[in-house]
Amino acid sequence: MKDGLRQSMAWVHTWAGLLVCWLLLLVFMGGSAAYYKHEITFWMKPELHKAADAPSTVTPAAAATLAVRELQQLAPKANAWFLDLPHERNPLIYASWTNPPKKGMTREERRAAFRTQNVTLDPMTGEKTAAPRDTRGGEFLYRLHFDLYYMSAIWGRWIVGVAAMFMLVAIVSGVITHKRIFKDFFTFRPRKGQRSWLDAHNVTAVLALPFHLMITYTGLVTLMFMYMPSPTKALYGAEQNTMFAEVFPNAERVKPAKQFAPLADIAPMLLQAERAWGQAPTRIVLTHPNDASARIVLHRPAGQQLSNIEPTMTFDGASGALLSGPKPMSATLDARGAIYGLHVAHFADALLRALFFVCGLAGTAMVATGALLWGVKERQKYAKVVAKGGRVGFGVRLVDALNIGAIAGLPIAFAAYFWANRLLPVEMASRSNAEANCFFIAWGIAAVLAQIRPTRGMWRIQLTAGAVLFAGLPLLNALTTATHLGVTLFGGPGLRPVAAFDIVVLLLGALLGWAAWWLGKPKKAAAARQPARASTARDDAVIDPKPMEAA
């Protein structure tokens, strides 16, 4: 370490960050969106909006009774029923079931069958709502941020895992190398070229450091059994599932008695759970319905603890008797649950969720400013060449182009995904895949155009395109559905997610539009001082109007 710790760490920070920054942008944007995956899914299924508009006055016990009655019609012979009752973020009842596997069915076929075995129910009547369009909604964005797409989930998770590890290295080395971390704590100096980009990078990184560290570390922990399989292998050999069964508090597996027994009334069970927890359960799993060994498992709603493993109460489905209350968990499992829970933030109410989302956006901004900073710094080496009408080096050009394609191009891809949701024909075959393809087609076009002409003009074009697409979403929603902002803002609480989606995309559009405007604004001071350079600069991708001065 001949250069001293700080300089060495600066090198590590630069390269660990730069190598994975474009993938991290995708992960950060997708992950931030995933905090609202239910709301996004609901927005993307406008067929459900009508049923959600009715003021919901039913109690959870009544809703559960209605849902059970409907499932008795739809799937009386199912292996298990899964029920999600209405709550703050979800105005409807979601019910799904698994059937006993037929002989010779492959795993893929069973999965495909399960995808069709679900219904959405109107909580007022218990009847099926209008069938929603085929879309993966927010689930696509959630999966995208750790499974990627067009490859097996395992590959995606390894790639994202490596990027997350680089990110962790970049965070730690960044803290070490930042020698004015306290002196510059509140410092942001605009219009000072490289200085300003560094300030922006510091402010978005340091002021949300607890979040950035937490989200990166906990993200790795969510997949720890995949990334670090050795401890499990040492203890359990190849039988990883045995470990999962032993460690995680699954409902005991009961074999069906193959003897008919009518299901007991579910309402008293919900009331009993509500008395014990102070909150009515919203997630219910019924195994072997209409069998003598039926079990009904009620999950406590999230919001009281960090851990994502919520306590459950198990009832005998035939007699209705409480079989077991919440089981005590080991401290290790509780700690793991809390770390996992911090990442997925199921416990977060509306306000805390918004804080997580804003911190996620700050993470995006941190990665983006870091990537831009590399270009701004590196470009200075070419200042004299560029002033004589020459070109910047290949590396700078490549990074500039990738930056445009990721920072300005990804918002276009997200917006294109939402536009596709409304514009693709509702009856289209494999529609949900087509929506995902639109995401990547839009991103691909943006990335290729950026490679062809990585200029300031391209920045403005792509930022403007993203701004128009995002800000146009509420308008598109108004033209294609009956639940536009004029309705949703004054409608019942069931439509609040739709209104919130419209407002947030409008704000994001405004933010992108502001960025495009800011880039196009004539830089008075710089232009006045250096008129010659401004007019002769051939490659004008320079984000920084006066790079030399900042050096």
Partner 1 sequence: MSALILAGAALAYSGFAAKSLTMDRHYADIHGRGAEPSARLRRQLRSIGWLALALSFAACIAASGWHIGPVVWCGVLSIAAWCATLLLQYAPRKAVQGVWIGIPAVAALLFLAPPFN
Contact letters for partner 1, residues 92-121 (x by CB under 8 A): ------------------------------
Task: Write down the least CB distance from residue 184 to partner 1, Å.
Answer: 9
Among 40, 64, 93, 359, binds partner 1 (CB under 8 A): 359
Task: Write down the least CB distance from residue 208 to partner 1, Å.
Answer: 4
Is 439 in contact with 410 (CB distance < 8 Å)? no
Could you say whether residue 425 binds partner 1 (CB under 8 A)?
Answer: no
Task: Write down the least CB distance from residue 308 to partner 1, Å.
Answer: 12
| Alpha carbons 104 and 111: distance in angstroms, whole number | 14
| Alpha carbons 543 and 517: distance in angstroms, whole number | 13
Comparison of 212 and 379: residue with beta carbon closer to partner 1? 212
Comparison of 132 and 341: residue with beta carbon closer to partner 1? 341
Among 4, 104, 210, 328, binds partner 1 (CB under 8 A): 210
| Alpha carbons 470 and 450: distance in angstroms, whole number | 20
Task: Write down the least CB distance from residue 74 to partner 1, Å.
Answer: 38
Could you say whether residue 190 binds partner 1 (CB under 8 A)?
Answer: yes
Please name the residues in contact with 507: beta carbons below 8 A apart, sequence gap of 6 or more: none
Comparison of 212 and 397: residue with beta carbon closer to partner 1? 212
**Span near partner 1 by CB under 8 A; candidates 61-69, 92-100, 136-144, 347-355:** 347-355
Could you say whether residue 352 binds partner 1 (CB under 8 A)?
Answer: yes
Return the structure tokens found at 407. Answer: 């920072």
Q: Measure the CA dihedral 356/358/359/363, to 10°.
A: 130
Sheet holding 93-98, edge to edge: 118-121, 93-98, 80-84, 283-287, 295-299, 312-316, 322-324
Comparison of 28 and 315: residue with beta carbon closer to partner 1? 28
Among 305, 380, 433, 481, binds partner 1 (CB under 8 A): 305
Could you say whether residue 507 binds partner 1 (CB under 8 A)?
Answer: no
**Span near partner 1 by CB under 8 A; candidates 107-115, 207-215, 241-249, 374-382:** 207-215
Comparison of 141 and 302: residue with beta carbon closer to partner 1? 302
**Pairing, β 312-316 against β 295-299:** antiparallel
| Alpha carbons 509 and 175: distance in angstroms, whole number | 32
Could you say whether residue 152 binds partner 1 (CB under 8 A)?
Answer: no
Q: Identify the three-state secondary structure at position 305.
A: coil
H/E/C letters for each residue in 401-424? HHHHHHHHHHHHHHHHHHHHHHHC
Task: Write down the least CB distance from residue 466 to partner 1, Å.
Answer: 23
Could you say whether residue 306 binds partner 1 (CB under 8 A)?
Answer: yes
Ramachandran area for residue 408 (φ above 0: left; ψ -120 to 50: alpha; else beta) = alpha
**Span near partner 1 by CB under 8 A; candidates 28-36, 151-159, 343-351, 380-388:** 343-351
Please name the residues in contact with 379: beta carbons below 8 A apart, sequence gap of 6 or more: 386, 392, 396, 542, 544, 547
Comparison of 209 and 243: residue with beta carbon closer to partner 1? 209
CB atoms within 10 A of CB 355: 14
| Alpha carbons 548 and 392: distance in angstroms, whole number | 15
Among 62, 124, 207, 550, binds partner 1 (CB under 8 A): 207
**Span near partner 1 by CB under 8 A; candidates 93-101, 141-149, 303-311, 472-480:** 303-311
| Alpha carbons 446 and 49: distance in angstroms, whole number | 33
**Span near partner 1 by CB under 8 A; candidates 125-133, 150-158, 180-188, 368-376:** 180-188
Task: Write down the least CB distance from residue 146 to partner 1, Å.
Answer: 21
Among 2, 102, 103, 183, binds partner 1 (CB under 8 A): 183
Q: Residue 48 has what DSSP assignment?
A: G
Task: Write down the least CB distance from residue 41 to partner 1, Å.
Answer: 24
Sign, Cα dihedral of 372, 384, 393, 451: positive
**Span near partner 1 by CB under 8 A; candidates 231-239, 313-321, 349-357, 425-433:** 349-357
**Span near partner 1 by CB under 8 A; candidates 126-134, 206-214, 379-387, 508-516:** 206-214
Q: How many residues bind partner 1 (CB under 8 A)?
A: 27
Is 77 in contact with 101 (CB distance < 8 Å)? no
Backbone Cα Rg of the chain = 27
Among 15, 149, 211, 227, binds partner 1 (CB under 8 A): 211
Contact letters for partner 1, residues 447-476 (x by CB under 8 A): ------------------------------
Could you say whether residue 188 binds partner 1 (CB under 8 A)?
Answer: yes
Could you say whether residue 328 binds partner 1 (CB under 8 A)?
Answer: no
Residue 459 half-sphere exposure, CB side, CA atoms within 13 Å? 21
Sign, Cα dihedral of 266, 270, 271, 276: positive
The CA distances from residue 388 to 86, 156, 292, 340, 535, in Å, are: 66, 45, 86, 55, 11
Is 251 in contact with 297 (CB distance < 8 Å)? yes
Could you say whether residue 225 binds partner 1 (CB under 8 A)?
Answer: no
Among 150, 186, 260, 490, binds partner 1 (CB under 8 A): 186
Positions that interact with partner 1 (CB under 8 A)? 183, 185-190, 203, 207-208, 210-211, 214, 303-306, 342, 347-348, 351-352, 355-356, 358-359, 362
